[in-house]
Amino acid sequence: GAVVSQHPSRVICKSGTSVKIECRSLDFQATTMFWYRQFPKQSLMLMATSNEGSKATYEQGVEKDKFLINHASLTLSTLTVTSAHPEDSSFYICSARLAGVYGEQYFGPGTRLTVT
Amino acid sequence: SQQGEEDPQALSIQEGENATMNCSYKTSINNLQWYRQNSGRGLVHLILIRSNEREKHSGRLRVTLDTSKKSSSLLITASRAADTASYFCATGSSETSGSRLTFGEGTQLTVNP
C-alpha cells in the first residue's frame, strides 16, 4: 500500500516552454501533498505544500507564479514549471502524506526535468 | 540552512558489517523519519519514530531518538551490497503537526561485497 506515482519520469523541454508534472496517490487519499526539488548529490528542498481544494503554500524563495501547483482531487496534484529555463533543470519529487497526527509521507519516483 | 545534519557524509563498509548514521536537528519535532534513496530514484520510507519514542526496530534497522540531544541514529545490521544508497533523515516540525518535513544532507553508504 501507500504507493505514489509521478508522470512523466523524464522530460526534456526547450527553454521558454512549460512542463506539467503529475503526482498521484494510487491507493490512498492524500489531503496534503508536497513538492520537492533535488539537485545532484544534494538533499531534498521543500518547494511547496499542496492542500486539496485550496491554494498551495510556497517556501521562501520559491516563485509561485513560476511553479504552479494544483491539487484538484484527493489523489492528484500537479506541478507546472512555466517558462522553463536551464536553471530549472532538476529532479522533482512529490510526496503524499497519510492522514493522522503522525502521518508518514510516501514519495513518488521523481521526475527528471532537463531544460535545453 | 537544512534543519538536519547528518554524519558521516559518506560511509564505506564491507558486507556483513554494521552501519551507523547519525542525524542532528535544531527545533522541536513531532516525528523523525528515515528514508533511503538509490541513485536517481525516489525515496523509500524506512521508519518513522515519534517524538515520544526512544527506539524503534524494523528488520535489520534500528533507530534511536534522543530529544534532549536533538539527535537520532540509524543502525543497519549485517549490511548487504543492496543497502548501498543515500540515507536521509527528515524531521517533522511540531509547529505543523509533523506534516512539513525538513531533510538532512544525507549519508552516502557504500557496502562493498
Report pLDDT digits (tens) over A52-98: 888 899 999 999 999 999 988 889 999 999 999 999 999 999 999 87
Distance from the Cα of B24 to chain A's closest Cα (Å) equals: 15
Structure confidence at residue B7 (pLDDT)? 81
pLDDT of B24 > 90? The answer is: yes
Q: Find the DSSP H helices in chain B.
A: none
Structure confidence at residue B50 (pLDDT)? 92
Percentage with pLDDT > 70 across chain A: 96
Enumerate the residues of chain B whose CB falls inside 8 A of the CB of residue A93.
Answer: 42-43
Whether the Cβ atoms of residue B46 and residue B35 lie closer than 8 Å to each other: yes
Please give the torsion angle defined by the CA atoms of residues B40, B46, B51 and B54, in that order, rounded to the nearest 10 degrees.
Answer: -130
Structure confidence at residue B1 (pLDDT)? 31
Task: Find the angle CA(A102)-CA(A28)-CA(A25) to the nearest 5 degrees.
Answer: 100
Q: Look at residue B27 and give its three-state secondary structure.
A: coil
pLDDT of B37 > 70? The answer is: yes
Q: Are strands A111-115 and A10-13 parallel, antiparallel or unpaired?
A: parallel
Structure confidence at residue B64 (pLDDT)? 97
Cis geometry, peptide bond prior to residue B113 (ω within 30 degrees of 0): no
Sheet (strand A4-7) strand order = A4-7, A19-25, A76-81, A67-73
Q: What is the pLDDT of residues B95-105, one digit of tens each?
A: 666 678 889 99
Of the residues B5, B38, B46, B99, the best mutation for testing chain A's interface (the one with the most A CB atoms within 10 Å of its CB) is B99
pLDDT of A102 > 70? The answer is: no
**Could you tell me the pLDDT band of residue B2, with boundaries at 50, 70 and 90?**
very low
pLDDT of A105 > 90? The answer is: no
CB nearest B41 (choices: A95, A106, A110): A110
For B51, which DSSP code? T
Q: What is the pLDDT of residues B50-97, one digit of tens each?
A: 999 999 999 999 999 999 999 999 999 999 999 999 999 999 877 666
Whether the Cβ atoms of residue B99 and residue A103 lie closer than 8 Å to each other: yes
Structure confidence at residue A30 (pLDDT)? 84
The residue in chain A having the minimum alpha-carbon distance to the alpha carbon of residue B45 is A106
pLDDT of A100 > 70? The answer is: no
pLDDT of B43 > 60? The answer is: yes
The residue in chain B having the minimum alpha-carbon distance to the alpha carbon of residue A4 is B42
Does residue A100 belong to the interface with chain B, where contact is any CB pair within 8 Å?
no
Cβ distance of A105 and B45 shorter than 8 Å: yes
Structure confidence at residue B100 (pLDDT)? 80
Mean pLDDT along residues A96-116: 85
Residues 6+ apart with CB under 8 A from B62: B55, B56, B74, B75, B77
